[in-house]
């Protein structure tokens, strides 16, 4: 099986968020897909099967399948645009969260994803204990969102992941497919964020398209802006070009290939 690793939301290697991309002729059993993702040990591995006019796409962390992943979708599009779909300007993917598109524009790859606006939620005790700061306010959509007073707070967060996992019990959640976004207004950008998902086997995701499905409408409303520029302040770091289109969001970024090889099954 062809396998590639693409660094996404960066124009240079060893930055952004690496995603595995596996091109399949047909679907393998789910347990094999999960074993491959665990062996790759990246935050997400994307698996694709070509159909007529689109690609089936699924995303796996090292421990489970997730319903939405931005950087691994851009990574998949990067591989296809560079090879099998070099003449195309747009690609469509059928996923657990509906049909997604990726387009090439201004030397960037743009995701067209569903917007996931957040609603206020309780400030569960483990937020402050695990994150080391008291959020200004807390929210939830698919993931939790904790607002901080400053970029410096976001940059300095050192989570206690053991405590952070307790949000599942405190919030009465049924599964592990969620994360915790921390965010604040940016100094040299519109907003900054980080993303933690220890229950899904990813302590900190370097740069997270999925999180921006909520961050974009959240900050669009607060800043009264439809086009924004954001940074994710993980160790690897990444830059995200954001557009709010109401029920949809556009999430743009660069991508660069790190590895190309073969997986023996």
Long-range pairs of 240-246 with CB within 8 A, sequence gap ≥ 24: 240/9, 240/207, 240/209, 240/212, 241/108, 241/110, 242/190, 242/212, 242/215, 242/216, 243/110, 243/216, 244/115, 244/216, 244/217, 244/220, 245/115, 246/115
Q: Where do the domains of the chain lie?
A: 2-113+252-262, 119-250
Residue 154 pLDDT: 98
Q: Decide if 90 is catalytic.
A: no
Tokens of residue 112, six digits? 């067209």
pLDDT-based confidence at residue 265 (cuts at 50, 70, 90): confident
The fold adopted by the segment(s) 119-250 is: Diaminopimelate Epimerase; Chain A, domain 1 (3.10.310)
**Mean pLDDT along residues 22-40:** 97
Kindly report, residue by residue over 46-87, the tens digit of the pLDDT.
999 999 999 999 999 999 999 999 999 999 999 999 999 999
Tokens of residue 204, six digits? 């900190």
pLDDT-based confidence at residue 261 (cuts at 50, 70, 90): very high
Q: Is 12 helix (H, G, I), strand (E, B) or coil?
A: coil
Kindly report, residue by residue over 183-213, the tens digit of the pLDDT.
999 999 999 999 999 999 999 999 999 999 9
Tokens 């950087």 sit on residue: 71
Kindly report, residue by residue over 87-145, the tens digit of the pLDDT.
999 999 999 999 999 999 988 999 999 999 999 999 999 999 999 999 999 999 999 99
Query: Per the residue annotation, which of 39, 44, 170, 204 is the catalytic one?
Result: 44
Q: In CATH, what number does 2-113+252-262 get? A: 3.10.310.10
One fold for 2-113+252-262 and 119-250: yes
Kindly report, residue by residue over 218-240, the tens digit of the pLDDT.
999 999 999 999 999 999 999 99
The pTM of this model reads 0.91
Residue 51 pLDDT: 97
């Amino acid at each position: 099986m062809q396998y590639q690793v693409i660094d996404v939301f960066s124009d240079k290697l060893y930055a952004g968020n690496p995603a595995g991309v596996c091109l399949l002729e047909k679907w393998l059993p789910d347990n094999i897909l999960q074993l491959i993702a665990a062996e790759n040990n990246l935050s997400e591995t994307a698996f694709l099967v070509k159909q007529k006019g689109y690609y089936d796409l699924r995303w796996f962390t090292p421990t489970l399948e997730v319903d939405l992943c931005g950087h691994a979708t851009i990574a998949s599009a990067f591989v296809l645009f560079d090879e099998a779909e070099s003449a195309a300007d747009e690609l469509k993917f059928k996923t657990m969260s509906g049909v997604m598109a990726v387009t090439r524009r201004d030397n960037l790859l743009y995701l067209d994803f569903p917007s996931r606006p957040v609603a206020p939620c309780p400030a569960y005790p483990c937020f402050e204990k695990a994150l080391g700061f008291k959020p200004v306010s807390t929210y939830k959509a698919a993931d939790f969102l904790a607002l901080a007073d400053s970029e410096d707070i976001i940059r300095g967060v050192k989570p206690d992941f053991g405590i952070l996992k307790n949000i599942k019990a405190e919030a009465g959640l049924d599964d592990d497919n969620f994360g915790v976004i921390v965010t604040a207004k940016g100094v040299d950008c519109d907003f900054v964020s980080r993303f933690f998902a220890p229950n899904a086997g990813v302590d900190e995701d370097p740069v997270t398209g999925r999180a921006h499905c909520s961050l974009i409408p959240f900050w669009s409303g607060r800043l009264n802006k439809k086009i924004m520029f954001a940074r994710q302040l993980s160790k690897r770091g990444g830059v995200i070009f954001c557009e709010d289109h109401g029920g949809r969001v556009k999430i743009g970024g660069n991508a660069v290939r790190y590895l190309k090889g073969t997986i023996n099954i």
